Amino acid sequence: MEQKSKTMGEDRKNSKQLMDELELISAPLVAFVKDNFHPHSRIEITSDSVKVVEDVIGIPIN
């Protein structure tokens, strides 16, 4: 049986739902980093780990 392709409107709705869900579940992590680390820290999330990392030094190269 052939699968029906999504319309552009359906893709946007799904994208909006995903963004809303991501915002909701990430809020506690953002608060955790703000409360426990400095502004140069960030969270890296992969399928098998969660890390808090920071940049020590960085210079943009053009």
Domain boundaries, given as residue ranges, for the chain: 10-54
| Cβ contacts of 29 within 8 Å, gap of 6 or more | 43
3-class DSSP state for residue 55? coil
Closest C-alpha to 42, from 50, 3, 25: 50
pTM of the model: 0.62
Q: Quick one: tokens of 53?
A: 């990392």
Q: What are 3-56's pLDDT values in tens digits?
A: 666 666 677 778 989 999 999 999 999 999 999 999 889 999 999 999 999 988
pLDDT at 12: 73
Amino acid at site 16: K
